[in-house]
């Protein structure tokens, strides 16, 4: 009985196992088909959108392309500059400029000349050994109230001296207009620039005349013809002598040195005027 029971059960078990295997196989096939279908759908969507993943370039192809490009030819070496051959008697530009252009003169402008206070001409610098004048002027007249008062002899002096001369002449002009009822028309001018020692000695300190920093005036001429001059018009009570003494006194306020008949016999016939420096401060005055 038992044997019969086993023979009945075994076929049934074998048949059930076969059914399970068949079912598993079908499921696997279905899963694979679904995966293939999904991949096909994705590829179709990418195709419709125009999107493709780039494929990597092969290094071998790139290397082959670069090697096929011809190299640029080398540039030629620059030629050395050509050196001109020297010419005989050739003059350099610097030498030509020195021949054609005069040397520059370093001089100082004169305000009195610029504004018309004096009538003068700028001269080249004077270089006479120890006597040197950087900006000498040849003065021919001074301007007083729009009138030109001439110097009897054009005189070489400095801008400072010429400007003070014009101021001094203006003071005498105002004095003459009151006392003589006549205006100043001329200055009796003596020595201006003169390279020599003081007082015309053979040796000693250089005179201020040697620097064009001094001027000698012998007198004045008025429009009426009246003359006020040295040596005759110094002592006495007449108007001419008083006018000369006034000229001497007024000059002492404008110049640092004023020497006249009261100083020494060398100045009996003129007034010496200069702007020389006296004392360490250059503020002292000498009025004799």
Q: What is the percent of the chain with per-residue pLDDT over 90, rounded to a whole number?
A: 58
H/E stretch holding 165 reads helix 159-179
Instruction: Round to whole Å and give the CA distance between 13 and 2.
Output: 17
Q: What is the mean pLDDT of residues 124-134?
A: 95
User: For residue 31, what pLDDT is reported?
Assistant: 74
User: Who's near 146: CB < 8 A, 6+ residues apart?
Assistant: none
Q: What is the mean pLDDT of residues 126-150?
A: 97
CA neighbor of 278 nearest in space, from 255, 250, 248, 253: 255
Task: State the chain's mean pLDDT as an integer.
Answer: 82
Question: Which has the higher per-residue pLDDT, 23 or 123?
Answer: 123
- In the chain, what's the furthest Cα-to-Cα distance? 197
User: For residue 57, what pLDDT is reported?
Assistant: 56
Separate counts of helices (H) and strands (E) for the chain = 6, 11
- 242-286 tens-digit pLDDT: 999 999 999 999 999 999 998 999 999 999 999 999 998 999 999
Scan for tokens 């010429």, then name that residue. Answer: 162
Around 37, how many Cα atoms within 13 Å sit in the side-chain half-sphere?
A: 6
- In the chain the first and final C-alpha atoms are separated, in Å, by 183
Q: Is the pLDDT of residue 81 over 90?
A: no
Q: What is the mean pLDDT of residues 194-220?
A: 89
Give the lowest-confidence range in 8-12, 53-57, 154-158, 231-235. Answer: 8-12
User: For residue 44, what pLDDT is reported?
Assistant: 55
Q: What is the mean pLDDT of residues 208-222?
A: 98
Question: Which has the higher per-residue pLDDT, 137 or 95?
Answer: 137
Percentages of the chain per state (helix, strand, coil), in multiples of 5: 40, 20, 40
Question: Which has the higher per-residue pLDDT, 45 or 154?
Answer: 154
Q: What is the mean pLDDT of residues 180-202?
A: 91
CA neighbor of 187 nearest in space, from 207, 157, 211: 157
User: For residue 87, what pLDDT is reported?
Assistant: 59
Phi, psi torsion values for 287, nearest 5 degrees = -130, 110
Question: Which has the higher per-residue pLDDT, 149 or 87?
Answer: 149
Instruction: Round to whole Å and give the CA distance between 66 and 9.
Output: 79
Q: Is the pLDDT of residue 122 over 60?
A: yes
DSSP state of 50: T
3-class DSSP state for residue 7?
helix
């Amino acid at each position: 009985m038992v044997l019969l029971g086993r023979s009945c059960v075994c076929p049934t078990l074998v048949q059930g196992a076969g059914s399970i295997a068949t079912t598993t196989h079908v499921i696997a096939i279905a899963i694979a088909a679904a995966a293939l279908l999904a991949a096909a759908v994705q590829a179709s969507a990418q195709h419709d959108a125009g999107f493709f993943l780039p494929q990597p370039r092969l290094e071998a192809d790139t290397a082959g392309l670069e090697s096929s490009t011809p190299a640029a030819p080398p540039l030629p070496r620059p030629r050395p500059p050509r050196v001109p051959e020297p010419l005989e008697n050739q003059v350099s530009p610097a030498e030509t400029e020195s021949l054609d252009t005069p040397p520059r003169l370093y001089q100082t402008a004169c305000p009195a000349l610029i504004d018309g206070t004096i009538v003068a001409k700028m001269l080249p610098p004077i270089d006479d050994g120890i006597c040197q004048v950087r900006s000498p002027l040849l003065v021919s007249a001074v301007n007083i109230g729009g009138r030109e008062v001439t110097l009897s002899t054009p005189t070489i002096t400095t801008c400072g001296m010429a400007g003070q001369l014009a101021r001094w002449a203006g003071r005498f002009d105002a004095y003459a207009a009151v006392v003589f009822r006549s205006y100043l028309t001329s200055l009796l001018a003596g020595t201006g620039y003169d390279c020599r020692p003081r007082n015309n000695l053979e040796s000693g300190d250089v005179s201020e005349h040697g620097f064009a920093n001094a001027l000698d005036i012998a007198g004045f001429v008025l429009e009426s013809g009246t003359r006020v001059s040295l040596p005759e018009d110094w002592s006495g009570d007449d108007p001419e002598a008083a006018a000369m003494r006034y000229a001497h006194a007024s000059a002492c306020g404008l110049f640092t040195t004023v020497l006249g008949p009261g100083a020494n016999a060398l100045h009996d016939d003129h007034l010496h005027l200069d702007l020389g420096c006296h004392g360490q401060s250059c503020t002292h005055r000498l009025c004799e």
